Amino acid sequence: GIEVAVDVAREAALPMDAQTALLRIAQGALANVAQHARAGRVGIRLDASDDAVRLRVADDGYGFDPRGAAVGASGTDSFGLRAMRERVDQLGGRLDLVSAPGAGTIITVTLPVGAP
């Protein structure tokens, strides 16, 4: 199994669409960890400031080259990254992905508080 650590540093009041987007992004990231990363641990952190809320999902798995993962061989998004980015873009946010083969993966989503 995969050890999961969850940390909610500070909560924020968010519109339902932002809550739903963060939930779906977290689900997608965790599904990727379970299906692709071969990780032993994953950390999920939710934090808010006065102007933004941040979701960070980090694993200690195999990692990958993000440049080659945006579109799979079949022309479809092989890691669900496109769906995550679309959700973030719709809410005026930002998605940052850091990964390298052998180095795990970190996905950080930042949404403005009061996103449309």
pLDDT tens string 40-77: 999 999 999 989 999 999 999 999 988 776 555 444 45
Structural contact between residues 4 and 61, judged by C-beta atoms closer than 8 angstroms: no
Instruction: Report the CATH number that the domain containing residue 67 is assigned in CATH.
Output: 3.30.565.10
Q: Please determine, for residue 105, whether its predicted confidence score (pLDDT) is greater than 50.
A: yes
Domain that holds residue 69: 3-112
Q: How many domains does the chain have?
A: 1
For the beta sheet containing 52-59, the strands, ordered from the edge strand earlier in sequence to the opposite edge, are 3-8, 41-48, 52-59, 105-112, 94-99
> What integer best gives the mean pLDDT of the chain?
88
* Best CA proximity match to 81, nearest among 69, 68, 67: 69
* Best CA proximity match to 109, nearest among 60, 69, 55, 37: 55
pLDDT of residue 112: 94
- The mean pLDDT value for 25-29 works out to 96
What does the alpha-carbon distance between residue 40 and residue 58 come to, in Å, rounded to a whole number?
A: 11
Determine the Cα angle at 74 with ends 71 and 79, to 5°: 40
Amino acid at 45: R
The pTM of the full predicted model, rounded to 2 decimals, is: 0.88
